[in-house]
Structure 1
Amino acid sequence: MDKKFILPFALTIVAAALVGCSSNKEKVDTKPLPLPKLVQSKQLVPVFSQSVAATNKDDDLRLQIAVDQGVLFIADPKGVVEAYKGKQRLWSTKMSNKDGLSAGVEAADGIAVVGNQKGLLTALDQATGQVKWTAQLSGSIIARSHIQIGHVITVTNDGNVYAHDEATGQQLWTYRLPNVPFSLRGQAAPVQLDPNNVLIATANAYVYGIDVVSGVPRLQRRVAVAEGRSDVQRLNDINPPVMMGQFMVTTSYQGQVTVTDLAQQQVVWSDDASSHQRPEVTQSKVFITTVDGKVIAYDLMSGQKLWENDKLLRRNLSNPVLLGSDLVVGDFDGVLSLIDPNTGDLIGRSSTKGQVSSLRVIDNQLYVSTQKGALSVWQNR
C-alpha cells in the first residue's frame, strides 16, 4: 500500500523549518497579533451548539457538519454519529469498529457517509441512523466523501478514487491518482464540477476532473507552481476548488490563487499567495485567507487586488465564508471575525471554543466546527 506522509498542521513550525534551511539568521515573528479594538462591533446570534470529542491538535483534518433536508448531522472522532432537527436529537449511532472516525459527514439522498483511518467507509440511513452498508477501501479516509447522481465518491490517502453505489455500497469503479510522498493535509475532498463530473485537487499542483458514472478522466489542469530545493519547500497542496460558472478558482499552499476558464482551457489570472484553505467566491469577487493570516479580496475577472486585511496576522485563520452581507473567518482562539466584504474592515466578532477548523454557510446560517469539538450554528442579527 502506498502511503502519503502528512506533515503536522502547525504551519508556524513548518515556516520556522523553512527559515532554518536558509543561511539568513533573521528572526521570524510567530506570535499572533492581538485582536484590535472595535468602535462598533456586530455580533452573531447563536442558534445551536453541541460538544463532541476533540480532534488531535496536530491533525488539521476535521470532521465537519453536514445538513440535508433541514437535518443536522455531526460526527465524533471516537465513532459516534448523531442527527438533530433543530435542538432535538433524532438518533445517535456508535460505530462498531474501534478505530473512530476521520472523515465525514457527507449527507445527501437519504444517507450520511463517514470514513476512518483504516479505510472503512460507512453509509448510515438518515432517518434511523442504522448502518446501510460498509466498504473497505485501500487507504486511510481523511477527506469527506461526495455524493452525486447516485454515486458516493471517496478519495483515499494512497491516491485512489472510489465510486460506490449509494443504495447498495457496491464498488462501481476506481481511478488511480499520481502518488505524492509528502502532503500538508492529505487528499482534498471531491467537489462537483458539473452534473456529470467531479473535481479532485491533489498535492502535486494538479486538479483532475472525473466522470462520475464511468470513472473516466475528463480534465487535468496544473493550477499552481512551488519552488524550492527540498520536498518541504516544494509542498504544493491544492485546496478543494470552487466553481463559479465556467471559472474554477483554486488556492494552494506555497503556490498561487488561480482562476481558470475551463471553457477556454486557459488561466485567466494568478497571484502568488500561500493558503491552506478553500476560497470563497461570488460572481464578482474572490476571498482568501493566507497562511500568515491575511484576508485578501480579488476581482474575479481581472485579478485586481481589491483590499488586504493584515489585522489578524498569525492567528491561523479558517476558510472565509459569506454570511449575508458579512465575510466571516475563524481563528486559533475560537474567535469569529466579521469583515466588511467591500472594504476589508473588521466590523464585529463572536466567540466559540477552540481553534476553528471549518466554516460553512447553509440557508443563511453559519455552521462552525472547532478542534476542541465545539459544533455550533449562528446567524446574523
Structure 2
Amino acid sequence: MHDRTPPVLTLRGTSSPIIARDLVLVGQDGGSLVALQLNDGSVAWEAEIAAPRGRTELERMVDIKGDPVVYRGDVYVGAYQGRIASVGLYTGRVGWTREFSTYLGAAADPERVFSVDDRSRIWAFDRFSGGAIWRQEDLSQVNLSPPTVYGDYLLVGDSAGYLNWLSVRDGSLQDRVRVGRQAIAEAPLVVNGRIYVLTSGGNLGVYRLAED
C-alpha cells in the first residue's frame, strides 16, 4: 500500500496505475510521478514533473491526471498547469521537459509523443528532444479523449461522439466516424488490429482499416 497526503485543491479523478515490467507507475496530485516496486510497493524512484506555482490553491494545481505511457524504456507524462516530460523507466531521471498543461494521457510512436492540452489542441513532440513538431487546432471546439496511435494514424475521440483519424506525420485530419451521440471520453483501444471505442452512453464501435 502506498499513500500520501494530497494538496488542498485537486482536479477530479486520478491517473490509473500502469505496470511496466517490475514497476508500477502512478501520477500524483502534487505533480510528481512515482515508481513502486511491483513485488512489495516500495518506492523505486520519484520524479518531479511540475512544481506548484502561484499564490492561490487554484493556481498551484499541478495534478497528473492522465495515465503515463511507457515506450521503449522511457515514460511520457504530462501535468495540468505544468509540463510534459520524458523520464527514464529504471532511473527516474528526467530526460526532457516542455511547458505544457494537460489533464489527459499521452501516446507515443518511434519518433513522436502525442498529447492533448487543456484547450483541446493536439500536439506532437519529438520523442528524443521534446521539441514541438506540429499542433492541430481544428478540434479545439470539442473536448477530446486521450490519443491512441494506430499505424500511421492518431486516434482521438471527442465530446460529440466522433472518432477522429489524424496523420501522425503532420496532424492533418484524415477522417471522422460517428460512434454515437454521447461523448467519447476514454482513449480508443487497439487490440489485434481492431479499434474499440466506447461512448459515455454505452455505444461500442469496432473498426479496422480495410484491406487492400
Confirm or deny a common fold (TM above 0.5).
yes
Map 1:291-370 onto structure 2 (within 5 A): 291-353=118-180, 354-358=182-186, 359-370=188-199
Counterpart in the other structure of 2:56: 230
* Separation (CA, whole Å) in 2 of partners of 1:246 and 1:270: 17
**Kept in 2: contact 1:254–1:273 (CA 8 A):** yes
Aligned-partner Cα distance in 1 for 2:159–2:207:
18
Q: Distance in 2 between matches of 1:379 and 1:231?
A: 45
AA in 2 matched with 1:342: R
The DSSP-based 3-state class of the residue aligned with 1:176 is: coil
* Residues 182-234 of structure 1: CA deviation (Å, up to 9, x unaligned): 3213331100132x221111111111111122121111111123423222222
Give, as a single letter, the amino acid of the residue that structure 2 aligns with 1:328.
L
- Counterparts of 1:182 and 1:373, CA distance in 2: 31
Distance in 1 separating the partners of 2:38 and 2:46: 15
1:339–1:229 distance in 2 versus 1, CA, 3 Å:
same
Matching residue's letter, 1:191: I
Q: Distance in 2 between matches of 1:262 and 1:300?
A: 14
Q: CA deviation at 1:242?
A: 1.1
Match of 1:273 among 84, 96, 100: 100
Give the distance between the partners of 1:259 and 1:281, measured in 2 at CA.
Answer: 11
SS of residue matched to 2:2? strand
Task: Name the residue aligned to 1:285.
Answer: 112
Structure 2 regions of 5+ residues with no counterpart? none
Equivalent residue for 1:375? 204
Show CA shifts across 1:45-90 (max 9, x none). xxxxxxxxxxxxxxxxxxxxxxxxxxxxxxxxxxxxxxxxxxxxxx
Residues 50, 62 of structure 2: 8 Å contact kept: yes
CA contact under 8 A between 2:47 and 2:94: conserved in structure 1? no
Match in the other structure for 1:208: 34
CA distance in 2, matches of 1:334, 1:314: 13
Matched residues in 1 for 2:23 and 2:90: separation? Answer: 14
Q: Which amino acid aligns with 2:193?
A: N
- Counterparts of 2:80 and 2:106, CA distance in 1: 12
CA RMSD in angstroms comes to 1.7
Distance 2:100 2:2 in 1: 30
Matched residue type, 2:184: V
1:255-281 per-position Cα deviation (integer Å, ceiling 9, x unaligned): 111112345543221111211111001
Q: 1:379 to 1:199 in 2, by over 3 A?
A: same
Residue number in structure 2 paired with 1:197: 23
Q: Which moved more, 1:262-271 or 1:316-325?
A: 262-271
Aligned residues: 207
Residues 225 and 256, structure 1, Cα contact 8 Å, conserved in 2: no
1:265, 1:208 → 2: CA distance?
Answer: 8
In structure 2, C-alpha distance between the alignment counterparts of 1:265 and 1:197, rounded to whole Å: 11
Separation in structure 2 between the aligned mates of residue 216 and residue 253 of structure 1, nearest angstrom: 26
TM-score normalised by L of structure 2: 0.90
Q: Which runs of 5+ in 1 are unaligned?
A: 1-173
C-alpha distance in structure 1 between counterparts of 2:165 and 2:115, whole Å: 14
Alpha-carbon separation, structure 2, partners of 1:275 and 1:314: 16
| Residue 179 of structure 1, CA deviation | 2.7
1:188, 1:201 within 8 Å by CA — same for their partners in 2? Answer: yes
Q: Is the 8 A contact 1:289 1:319 kept in 2?
A: yes
Report 1:1-381 matches (<5 A). 174-194=1-21, 196-238=22-64, 239-263=66-90, 265-353=92-180, 354-358=182-186, 359-381=188-210
Hey, what's the Cα distance between the residues in 1 that align with 2:13 and 2:164? 28
Tell me: CA distance 1:228–1:371, structure 2 relative to 1, closer, same or farther (3 Å). farther
CA distance in 1, matches of 2:90, 2:39: 21
Q: CA deviation at 1:333?
A: 0.4
What residue identity is the alignment partner of 2:204? Answer: L
